[in-house]
Structures are given as C-alpha cells and as structure tokens.
Amino acid sequence: MVAAGLAAEVSARASARATARVYWRLLRAGFRRQSTYRLAAAGGFVANATFGLLKVAVLFATVRAAGGELAGYDVGRMNTYIWISQGMLGSINYTGKTEIAVRVKDGSIAVDFLRPLDVQAAEITTEVGRALFALIPRGIPTVLIGVIIGMTAPNSPAAYPLGALSLLLGIVLSAATVYLVGVCGFWLVENRGVQICYMVVSGFLAGLFVPIPLFPSYLRIAAYATPFPSMMMFPVDVLSGRADLAGSLGRLAVQLAWLVAVGAIGQAMTRAGRRQLEVQGG
Amino acid sequence: MAEAAGAAPGAAVGAAPGAAVGAAPGAAVGAAPGAAVGLGARLRPYRVVLAARARSQTSYRANFALDLVSSMLAAVVELGEIWVLFRSVTHLGGLEFHQILLVFGLADLAFSLADVAFGHCDELAVYLRAGTLDVFYLRPQPLLAQLVTGDITLRRLARAAAGLVVLAAGLALNDIPWGVTSVGLLALALASGIAMFAALFVWAAGAQFFLVDGAEMTNAFVYGGRYAATQPASVWSRPLKALFGFAVPMAFCGFLPTLRLLGRPGPDWFPTWLGWCGPLAALWAWGMALAFWRWGVRHYQGGGG
Amino acid sequence: MNPIIETISLTRRFRVRDGVRRRELTAVDDLSVRVEPGEAVGYIGANGAGKSTTIKMLCGILVPTRGTVTTCGLRPVADRRRLARQIGVVFGQRSQLWWDLPVRESFRILAAIHALPAGLERARTDELVERLDMAEFLATPVRQLSLGQRMRAEIAAALLHAPRLVILDEPTIGLDVLSKQRLREFLIEQRRSHGTTLLLTTHDMGDVERLCDRVLVIDRGRLAYDGDLAGLGRAAGLGRAAGAERVLAVDLAEPGPDLTGIPAARHLSSEAGGLRQRLAFDAEATTAARVFAAIAERADVRDFTVEEPDIEDVVRRLYVGRAEPAE
C-alpha cells in the first residue's frame, strides 16, 4: 500500500530528489514495521544475551588456556568482540531467508518489476531499515551488557565514527549478499539448498562464533575470499579498536569493494531474472 | 490401518510420552459410554495420525539427499567452531578435543531426535493466531497429546545421522572401558537427553500462550540450551552453571555422562555421579514443562472461574 | 427429561487492552437457556453479539466468568473429553479435518479417535459418503477441496460418531444455493432418522427458516428473544413470521412513479426518481415471479435482485419495534 502511493509520486515528478525521498521512506517503513514487534525484539535481546554468555564462557576459557592472550585477543578484547558481535546479531542476516525469495517464488515479483523502483535497491533498503531498527532494542542493550561486564573500550576517538560507518557498510553488505540468494529463485525450482548453505556458512565465515584471527591460516584465507568477514568481523574490529587507523581504513575499503561487487552481481541477476520472467510469461 | 512397525523411530519416541500423558488422565476421567478401551486402542488414533504424516513425508525423497548433505555440513561447521579453538589450546574445560566429541555427539544426537518428534510444537503459535486450536478441544484427547503427535518431521533424521557420526567418532577415539555399565550409561544419557530436549520444546510451546510472536524468546532457550549442552560445563560461570546446569539441566545431556564414562574428575558443583542422574533431570524438565503448559492452557481458557 | 443444553445466568467477560488502558468487555451476559433433546434451535445475532463465545463455553473451550453451563449433562470444561464423544461441532471457518491428507484419511483418523469398531466405522462412513455425495473427492487432500465439498466433509466428520448434539457455527457461509439446499436437506433427514439435537448459528435467515423450529436471538451478549419464528416476526413488528418477507429490488429503464398497488407486495423505497425501486412481498402469499410479472406490466425492467432477509435488521427491529416495513 505504501509502495503504490510512492510509485504514483515518482512518476509524477521524476527527479533525483523524489527518488531519494522514496528510498528514505522505504527505509523508514522497514524501520517502523519492526517497532510493532516489541516482544519479538525483547525476545531477540534475550537470545543475544544467552548466546553471549555462553560464548563468553567458552572463549574466555580458551584465552586463559592459551596463557591469557590469543592471536591478539586478551580477555577484555574477547569480551568486546563477543558483545559487539552479539549485538549485531539481529542486524546481519545469517539465515539466508529473505522476503524477496518468497516474492520470486510466488510470482508477485512481477508486480514489483512494473513499478518505477529498482527492485534490488528497494529490497535492500527495506532490509537495511529493518536491520537498523533492530539495533535499538537488541543491539544497544547487548553491548551494554558487555560494558557492564568490562569490555575494553577503543583507545582512539576515531574508532567511533569509523566504526559506525563500518557497521553501516556491513549491514548493507549483508542485505545485498543475501539478496543474491533470494534472486536465485528465478532459476532454481527449490531455493532451500542455497539458503541452507548460506545459513550454515555465513555465521562461521563472518566470525560469529570464533574470531577470524583465530582460524588456522588456510581457513582464514578462505574466509577473506568471501564477503562474510566484511559483514561483521571488520565492523567489530573497527568498533572495538582492535584495528588501528590504517587497519580500519583498509577494512572499510575492502567492505566497500565487496559492496560494489555484490551490488553489481545483484543488479545483473535481477535484470537476467526479469528477462527470464518475461520469456516464461511471468 | 497404520502399522506401528512401519512408523519411523521418531514416532515411537513421540507416541510414548504423548500416550503417557494421554492414557493416565483419560483412564482417570472415566471411559466413554460403551468404550472399555485398552491401551492399544487408546494409542491407535495417535498412531494413525503419525503414520499418515510420516507417509506424506516419505514421498519427498529427492529432498532427503539435500537434507542429508546440509545436515552434515551444518554438523561439520559446528564442530569446526570447537575444533578451531583446539588449534590454539589442547584442553578446554579440562577436556581434549576427542573427548569433546562425545559431549557434542550425545547432545547433538539427543537434540536432533527430539526435534524429529517434538520440533513442530512451536506450530502452536500459528494455531493460536488462526484460532484453530479450538478444533483440538473438540476431540476426546488431551490437548498436549494432540499437539505432540500431530506431526513428525522425518527430514530432521538427517541431522540426527550427523550427530550419530560424531558420537560414533567420539566413542571410537576414546579409551572407554566397555561393559554393561558403560553401555547402560550411554543409553540412559541418550534417552534422558532426548526427554530433556523434548521437555524444552513443550515448554517453548506452552510459552506461546503468553507471548505473541514469542518464538525468538523461546528459541533463545531451545537453541541456547542446545548450544550449552554441547559445551563442557566446566567453563561456565556460576550463574550459567545454575541456569544451564540445574534450572534447564543441559549439562546432564552430554557433559556429565561423558565425565562419568571417561572417569574424568568433575568441576565445582558437578560431582561425576551426576552422570547417572539424567533421568532425574529429565523428570524435572518435564515437570516444569507440563506445569507451564497447564498454566498456559488455563490462561487461554480464562480459567479459574 | 434432562435437557441437552442448560445454561443458568451464563456470563463471560474479557479484559481487552485498548491502547494503554484496559477495558472489560462482556461478551455473554446472564444467558439462561434450556434446550431439550431433539430440538432444532437457531442461534442468531449480529456479528460480535456473543454467539461464538457461547458456543465455546458449551464445548469447554472457554471457562464462564459467572453462571453455569451443562452440555449433555456434563460440565464442558471439566469433562471436556467425555463431552467430545457426545457432540459434533462444525466450525464454518475453521477446519477439523487434516489439511494435507485425503478426506478418507481424516475419517479414518476420527474413527480411531472415537474408538469406533471397524464395522460401525464402515457403516457410518458409507452412509455419510452416500448421503452427502462425497465419493468423488474422498481421495483428494482437504486443502484442494472447494468450499462446498469441504463443508460436506466437515459435516460428515462431525457426525461420524453419531453424536447426540450437533452444533454448527455458520455452516453455510460462502456456499452457493445448491450446496446450501443439499446441506439443509441432509440435516433435516439426520434429525428425523437419528433424533439428533441441532444448534445452528447463522446469519442466513434461510437456514433458520428451513431447519429450525426455535430461535434464540442474542444481542450484545443478552438473550433478546426465545421462541418460534412467527413470534419473532411479531416481536420485530414485521406483522408476519420473520424471514417470510423478501425484498425485490428492480432497476427500471426509465425513472417512473412509485410502484404501489401490486398484490401482496408493499412499496419500500425509490431511488433516482424512481429508477431503482424496492418492494417487499410476503413469500407465503405470493412468489417473486408473480410480483415481477406484475411490475413488468407496468414498467420496463432492466435488472432485478431478490434480497435475502437480513438478520441484523430483524435484531434491530426487536428493539425499535416499529410497524414499518422491513428494509
């Protein structure tokens, strides 16, 4: 309903500002939709906290067993890593499920193509809105737990703005990458295989369970060959201050590069999917 | 007519607790006019439904291969998380990697089997939203029994297979004094673990009476519980030990039986003879789950007059 | 004889969250009703009047806030499982069948649930399949059935164990005329041959007219009328049995004067200067065809509809009690 009204607006005054406004509204819509699910948000926080505490137990024990320091992580740094990564849990898509996958499957994507909105951008923007909202009831309280427990704060003030930027890039990259899974539905009869694969590897390769620096070298290389570390590991590194200025800027660059690449692939797949639909007769 | 022999192993697991809940109260209330039914006849409707569900799922054989592969992959990745840690240390919580395999295998297998028979109980949230729970009231069977035996997810057997592989590896790689005691301990631990996870699913279903869209909250404890069960409890802090050691007794699924089996010393608060106390933990878990369920039903009906 | 349904001062209140505040909503208020075995009772009222809440309390789904309810001599909540063996319920909008299984499986499961011996199961199933003409879709999964087919299957499912009391909650909603007719005839026949008590909630006056000898009207939780249809018509100021009057709405080719003076018909209203006119006629005294013919002699009719009598209207008029024609 919201989108129908917006479409009319855009076609009436096709200007760049109008387009920007459209996307801003989409962002807000994704944002607002989540606010109705307050209990779900509270539940999300409980989930974050529970897993966080369990991870603390295991990872602290590991660090201590390794003599108090492991691949640059001491107990304090590990604490920071755990609580920031848990806080981001609601904002990064590790399940591989998307709304666009459903729409491609049941065919209502055909209607989306008729609107003067770029399907890929619209979907990603809505997802990002939803993810940004989740930071409030889930992200911030979770990080607060870490603060209370005593995680180490970053030692340079630049970490905050850079960290925020990295966080945003990570969120957008996650939405853009999982979009690719959704549009596979144009060619695959059953999306489930791709989605499950995504679900299984995304968390691991993003460094959700164990920080990537702890991986053996070949696994580390394999991880960096994917966009997943850029979704979560890098923002955590920048926010926690583990990365110095040069390291932070480097990570931001990598995130941006992945975003461009994934975005381009997504755009190509969307166009191809649209052609596919037209050929099949929708 | 459905043959119990033809039903999947998960059906036996599902029918037993369901029937136990159903048979006793049913007999106490008094048999229906003209129906002096024995236990076999009383179980028949549950068997028929489960068999019908199982049959309708076996037709999707193509997907089973996919499920098997993805389950194996998921198990590998989860195990990989622990394995990565062991690249840097030799002992975690006093256990070495091949010993952790036992903990992981027991917990994972127990969870997956419980998931086959009880995992669908969160559908209750859907029934509540659609108002279709009322239909359950019209049948002369206990509500919970209907919910539990209403479906079975054979697909998840693939995940159980993965857990079994890990358990087998753990059993092979460890020096276990094989005998009646150890086999008995393993069997008891597995059965108790399945019962405990089943209770967790039932608890999560009961919580749906109070929550709207509450799946995330209950998932925190169901999947959090599973995660906790695969860990060596010796690494836990005091609050965690209280929570996942005793309140939601996940430590009894894999860790404590493993300690007992391997003859390892237990950490604070967990003497190793607790390894035999799986059934007690399961009873406790089921007691909590059933109480919560009754509370939820009463809330739904506006009970208490 | 013991009543099959007896409610004494039955009351049910809900606490509803209205934004931040909490209101208390009384869905059923001090309802005292007695239904004897073998009766056919229509339970009518506007949406939200309390019909579904009453049914839920009769079946043991909801606990009354005050008062008592006894169904088949049992306490619905406490003896729910025993009661379930003696009643059959059809919810018009919620299915009792197993959605993705064939219809035949649902019957098999229900026979097992009610512990019907094999011979009885076969006999009952065959009888119901034949009477309700279900043979063609017995093997079809329930979710693929049309609404008419599904309702037939639901009724069969509710009657499989030959219950003493059958409660139907909006059973003909959304059905076409033929299906409604078939269903009504089936219910009448079952009553005759098995002596089943029928409690029917419906919006359709046609259902009530053809199936029920007694009518309970509930309005905002309270019992507004308890008696037969003739009495209801009188109480609503209709001057005849409720539901006996139909309305014929005609669209004329040209605006014209009011069509008064048609035998056994009463002019109700004219719109657009007489382009569209509505006339009420007594379905017992004449037929739509005769009224239409009389109109066609006087004016050129472009289109017409016959309106079914409206429950809400009847209920409203119970309170207003005007001698004006039903609209």
Which of A200, A219, A226 is the best mutation test for B, with the most CBs of B within 10 A? A200
Q: Which helix (H) or strand (E) holds C134?
A: none
DSSP state of C75: -
Q: pLDDT tens, C191-212? A: 998 899 999 998 877 788 888 9
Residue B36 lies in a domain: no
Helix, strand, coil share (%) of chain C residues, nearest 5: 35, 30, 35
Of C63, C64, C94, the CB nearest to B135: C94
Residues C265, C221 share a domain:
no
CA distance B148 to chain A (A): 24
Domain ranges in chain A are 2-280
**Residue numbers in A near B221 (CB within 8 A):** 50
Q: Is C14 on the interface with B (CB under 8 A)?
A: yes
Which B positions 1-30 lie with beta carbon below 8 A of chain C?
Answer: 26, 29-30
Which chain B residue shows the shortest CA-CA distance from A218? B84
**Residue numbers in C near B26 (CB within 8 A):** 81
Residue B230 lies in a domain: yes
Provide the domain limits for residue B135.
Answer: 60-301
Q: What is the pLDDT of residue A129?
A: 92
Question: Looking at C192, C210, C234, which one is the last position of a domain?
Answer: C234
Residues C126, C150 share a domain:
yes
Return the number of other C-beta atoms located less than 10 Å from residue A11's C-beta. 11
Q: Is B299 on the interface with C (CB under 8 A)?
A: no
Cβ of B218 and A43 within 8 Å? yes
pLDDT band of B304, cuts 50, 70, 90: very low
**pLDDT: which is higher, C54 or B28:** C54
Of B81, B93, B218, the CB nearest to A210: B81
In angstroms, how far is CA B278 from the centroid of its own chain?
13
Lowest mean pLDDT of A158-172, B52-66, C127-141, C278-292, name the range: B52-66
Which of B235, B240, B268 is the best mutation test for A, with the most CBs of A within 10 A? B235
Q: Which of C325, C312, C327 is nearest to C237 (CA)?
A: C325
Please say whether the beta carbons of B8 and B40 come within 8 A. no
DSSP state of C310: B
Residues C110, C250 share a domain:
no
CA distance B279 to chain C (A): 31
DSSP state of C41: E
Residues C92, C196 share a domain:
yes
Q: What is the pLDDT of residue B23?
A: 38
**Residue numbers in B near C108 (CB within 8 A):** 48
| Mean pLDDT for all residues in chain A | 86
Residue C13 lies in a domain: no
Residues C256, C224 share a domain:
no
Residues C248, C199 share a domain:
no
Which chain C residue shows the shortest CA-CA distance from B50? C109
CATH of the domain at C180: 3.40.50.300
Cβ of B220 and A47 within 8 Å? yes
Of B33, B132, B301, the CB nearest to C77: B301
CA separation, residue B31 to residues B35, B42, B144, C77 (Å): 6, 11, 19, 17
Q: Is A58 on the interface with B (CB under 8 A)?
A: yes
Number of domains in chain C: 2
Cβ of B216 and A47 within 8 Å? yes
Q: What is the pLDDT of residue B177?
A: 87
Residue B247 lies in a domain: yes
Residues C80, C170 share a domain:
yes
CA distance B131 to chain A (A): 20
**Residue numbers in A near B88 (CB within 8 A):** 62, 66, 70-71, 214
Q: Which two structure tokens, joined as six digits, stand for C108?
A: 């098999």
Range from B25-29, B60-64, C15-19, C106-110 that averages highest in pLDDT: C106-110
| Mean pLDDT for all residues in chain B | 83
Of A54, A65, A219, the CB nearest to B89: A65
Of B93, B220, B227, the CB nearest to A46: B220
Cβ of C56 and B134 within 8 Å? yes
Residue B128 lies in a domain: yes
Which C positions 200-229 lie with beta carbon below 8 A of chain B?
Answer: none
Q: Is A252 on the interface with B (CB under 8 A)?
A: no
Per-residue pLDDT of chain C in tens (327 residues, 90 and over written 9): 789 999 999 999 988 766 567 788 899 999 999 999 999 999 988 888 889 999 999 999 999 999 999 999 999 999 999 999 999 999 878 899 988 889 998 999 999 899 899 899 999 999 999 888 899 999 999 989 998 889 899 999 999 999 999 999 888 887 888 888 888 889 999 899 889 999 999 887 778 888 899 999 998 889 988 998 888 877 776 656 666 677 888 898 888 888 888 888 888 888 888 888 888 887 777 888 888 888 888 888 899 888 766 666 777 777 665 334 444
Provide the domain limits for residue C188.
Answer: 37-59+76-234
Do C and B touch, counting CB pairs below 8 Å (3 needed)?
Answer: yes
Cβ of C96 and B33 within 8 Å? no
CA distance B80 to chain A (A): 9
DSSP state of A215: S
Residue B271 lies in a domain: yes
Please say whether the beta carbons of B222 and B120 come within 8 A. no
Which C positions 277-316 lie with beta carbon below 8 A of chain B?
Answer: none
Residue C186 lies in a domain: yes
Which chain B residue shows the shortest CA-CA distance from C89? B138
Q: What are the φ/ψ torsions at residue C61 (nearest 5 degrees)?
A: -80, -35
pLDDT exceeding 90 applies to what percent of chain B? 52
**pLDDT exceeds cutoff 80 at A142:** yes
Mean per-residue pLDDT for B21-32? 38
* Concatenated DSSP letters of chain B: ---GGGS-HHHHHHHHHHHHHHHHHHHHH-PPTT----HHHHHHHHHHHHHHHHHHHHT-HHHHHHHHHHHHHHHHHHHHHHHHHHTT-S-BTTB-HHHHHHHHHHHHHHHHHHHHHHGGGGGHHHHHHHTTTHHHHTSSS-HHHHHHHT---GGGHHHHHHHHHHHHHHHHHS----SHHHHHHHHHHHHHHHHHHHHHHHHHHHHTTT-SSTHHHHHHHHHHHHHHHTS-GGG--HHHIIIIIIIS-GGGTTHHHHHHHHTPPP-TT--GGGGG-HHHHHHHHHHHHHHHHHHHHHHHHT---
| Mean pLDDT for all residues in chain C | 86
Helix (H, G, I), strand (E, B) or coil at C206: helix
ipTM value: 0.81
Mean per-residue pLDDT for B50-67? 77
Residues C166, C111 share a domain:
yes
Q: Is B240 on the interface with A (CB under 8 A)?
A: yes
Q: Model pTM? A: 0.82
CA distance B3 to B15: 13
DSSP state of A137: I
Cβ of B32 and C115 within 8 Å? yes
Number of domains in chain B: 1
Residues C160, C101 share a domain:
yes
**Residue numbers in B near C114 (CB within 8 A):** 140
CA distance C168 to C180: 13
Residue B238 lies in a domain: yes
Residue C27 lies in a domain: no
Residue C280 lies in a domain: yes
Which chain B residue shows the shortest CA-CA distance from C96? B135
Cβ of B45 and C91 within 8 Å? no
**pLDDT exceeds cutoff 80 at A280:** no
Count CB pairs under 8 A between chains A and B.
Answer: 107
Q: Is B242 on the interface with A (CB under 8 A)?
A: no
Q: Is A33 on the interface with B (CB under 8 A)?
A: no
Question: Looking at C234, C260, C277, which one is the last position of a domain?
Answer: C234
Q: pLDDT tens, A15-60? A: 677 778 888 888 877 766 655 566 666 777 888 888 999 999 999 9
CA distance C29 to B91: 69
Q: Is B88 on the interface with A (CB under 8 A)?
A: yes
Q: What is the pLDDT of residue B61?
A: 63
Q: Which helix (H) or strand (E) holds C167?
A: strand C165-169
Of C14, C60, C109, the CB nearest to B52: C109
Please say whether the beta carbons of C291 and C189 come within 8 A. no
Do C and A touch, counting CB pairs below 8 Å (3 needed)?
Answer: no
Residues C287, C173 share a domain:
no
Helices B215-229 and A38-65 pack at an angle, to 10 degrees, of 20
pLDDT band of B254, cuts 50, 70, 90: very high
Q: Is B130 on the interface with A (CB under 8 A)?
A: no
Q: Which chains touch C (3 or more CB pairs under 8 A)?
A: B
Which chain C residue shows the shortest CA-CA distance from B130? C94
